[in-house]
Chains A and B, each alone.
Chain A
Amino acid sequence: MSDANPVPVTVLTGYLGAGKTTLLNRILTENHGKKFAVVINEFGELGVDNDLVVDADEEVFEMNNGCICCTVRGDLIRIIGGLMKRRNKFDGIIVETTGLADPAPVAQTFFADEDVKRATKLDAIVTVVDAKNLPARLKDSPEAEEQIAFADIVVLNKMDLVTPEEAEEVEKRIRAINPYAEIRRATKSDVPIDSVIGRDAFNLSRILEREPEFLSGEDEHEHDSEVMSVSFEVSRPIDPERFNAWISQLLAQKGQDLLRTKGILHYQGDDRRFAFQAVHMIADGDFIGPWKEGDPRKSRIVFIGRDLNRPALRRGFESCQVDAPAADQA
């Protein structure tokens, strides 16, 4: 059961000093006629200019559902429950996480808690990175990688501090981790507000709508990051039972390493596209609109995560197809 008018929630992540608070203040002060409730966890060097600011404690706890990586933010459940009591006072919620935060518990809260799920929808995860310091951060902290892996939009900030070559290089690093994130170059976080707010990036009907900025193809480039992405495409229709069996087992066994999974599937005998997404082990899927006239009905799946076994994942996905017609099996 979901509310007719769920409140959109934007999650803002990024290392301390990357320009998160500058972006936040830009969103809040721009003349867009919208009011936001802001949930923050730390006071940066800059104050937050807003009427409705809530101090959160980033309390993460494990759900007792037998899924070890299913952690959620208890403080967010509490705060969103409170905010809903005056939901007519704002148009959206922005959750700023601390620099060191793993974005997974925040994202999972929006899928795992029934009250939060009913009242809100996750709009997008926006990660602000510092173009100059990102290479160093990627070396010394797994959180920096995770924040990029989870991002729908990466704001590549402080462009005035890097050369064009350095900028190219840092974009390449980001795309190697997450080719599906949209990268927005910025100085002093000066991105258009509508590029980070109102994106509806977690809407199943928009999954994989964007072409990747960098098709990873086979392993032709060096991976110097731990987190990577792989994607596969198959042309025979998918057998829903086989797919469910495979993906459930995969998420149960490898869910800790799989940060985000997204797929658009052509189910055997169905004219509608089936969209699928998961954050670690928490999955969500539904039929979305019909295939476009003339478009090839191909099924695609993307994994962003650690320690991904490309051949095994490929074989697994391929085996979800219906059997090839007998004539092909000469």
Chain B
Amino acid sequence: MSGAAEADFLLASRGVSRELGAWVVGIAFGRDGAGCAFGLGDGSLRIARLAAMDGEWQEVAAHDGACLSLCADVKDGFLSGGDDGRLLRVAPDGAVEELHKAGGMKWVDHVAAHESGVRAAAIGKQIHLFDGKGQALKVLTHPSSVGGIAFDAKGKRVAGSHYNGASLWFVAAKEDKPRLLEWKGSHAAIAISPDGTHVVTAMQENALHGWRLSDGQHMRMSGYPSKTKFLSFTAKGRWLATSGADSVVLWPFFGGGPMGKAPTELAGGDNVFCTAVACHPQHEVVAAGFADGLVLMAEIASGKVVPVAAPGRGPISALGWNPAGTHLAFGTETGFAALVDLSKRP
């Protein structure tokens, strides 16, 4: 008991939590610093305000179905994609605006936005791009369904993963011809390194695949006992944190790595799979969630681990930091959600 109470110290002393009653699909903090949204499997969003996080979390009826993907919108508010085929902008005050509605019974599987004023939504084989005003820019078609999307750090390029590789597009190109990064198999989660030099995907076969863009060099990172669903680079891109093993697996992207380098493993040893990771927006610190509900933070250099929440509230399905790095939010498959204020206190 004392162990669990100790592990819950941060949640109990600096956090607020709610039982939301549905799978927490995604978490996003608004870029304006005002709020944190939780996207749920019942199609609703809950918005907590950081200034009054123990107040009411506003419920926003968004999708008729499930929310499938959530991200911070360009300047403030959130972008939400659902299995009702709708791409929605949800303003900080909870007002909902439909940016796009897919035909037929298509789902909006993935969403992404960049502060430079571009938004992306993956629907089947296509990535739809919109500008900051919601104007449709273009539609990028891939050879098969898109498994994940990512913007580069400047918002100039967008990458979509699919079968047999990933496609890298220039957002502003006059002629849309992607650079095809090929590797046989099914690719899902995708990330571009902050310096724009590497693209990494998570594959069906419990492995990661990467491409060094300068010369097309392949990287294969394997040994995971389950699928990796979360890829997160540290702020300066030195480490890539990943879920899918019974520890937080971090690949070094410096000193010639990750080729020929062993990954660093943190917070392992419990035989419980890590299900979510999120790197701190400034420091080399990673937050991680596990299948038993444990949430922790680890400092990469020292390997020092600090628990945030004890196990027992369902597998962690969503996890994220606010841009200032002062607040951490997480949610579980069984509908538990929490927001923890980690800012320095006088």
Contacts and interface: CB of A to CB of B under 8 A. Distances in A.
Contact of A86 (B66, B104, B124, B185): B66
B145 interface: yes
Given A54-B83, A74-B186, A82-B68, A59 B22 contact: no
A185 B124 CA distance: 38
B9 to A, nearest CB: 29
Contact of B124 (A57, A62, A77): A57
Task: With a 10 A CB-CB cut-off, give which of A59, A86, A114 has the most chain B CB atoms.
Answer: A86
A55 B227 contact: no
Given A54-B107, A59-B163, A85 B66 contact: yes
A78 B109 contact: yes
B105 A114 contact: no
Contact of A82 (B42, B83, B147): B83
Decide if the interface of chain B is mainly helix, strand, loop or mixed. Answer: loop
Contacts of B83: 54, 82
B42 A61 contact: no
Given A59-B145, A64-B184, A113-B204, A86 B23 contact: yes
Given A57-B124, A74-B186, A78-B147, A86 B105 contact: no
A53 interface: yes
Contacts of B65: 52, 86
A100 to B, nearest CB: 18
A52 B83 CA distance: 10
Nearest to B24: A85
Contacts of B41: 85-86
Interface residues of A, number: 25
Contacts of B105: 53-55
A81 to B, nearest CB: 9
Interface string B226-257: 11000000000000000000000000000000
A75 interface: yes
Contacts of B296: none
A74 B66 contact: no
Most chain B C-beta atoms within 10 Å of own C-beta, residue among A83, A84, A85: A85
Of the four ranges (under 10, 10 to 19, 20 to 34, 35 or more), the interface on chain B belongs to: 20 to 34
Interface string A143-159: 00000000000000000
A63 interface: yes
A74 B163 contact: yes
B265 interface: no
A5 B169 CA distance: 42
Nearest to B42: A86
Interface in B4-60: 22-23, 25, 41-43
Interface string B184-203: 11100000000000000001
A115 interface: yes
A141 interface: no
A115 B273 CA distance: 13
Contact of B145 (A62, A78, A85, A86): A78
B126 to A, nearest CB: 12
A86 B22 contact: yes
A309 interface: no
A113 B204 CA distance: 8
Interface string A37-77: 00000000000000011110101011111000000101101
Interface of A: 52-55, 57, 59, 61-65, 72, 74-75, 77-79, 82-86, 113-115
14 contacts: A54-B83, A55-B106, A61-B186, A61-B204, A63-B204, A64-B184, A64-B185, A72-B204, A75-B145, A78-B147, A82-B66, A82-B68, A82-B107, A86-B41
Given A64-B205, A114-B227, 6 more contacts: A61-B164, A64-B204, A72-B204, A79-B107, A82-B66, A85-B67
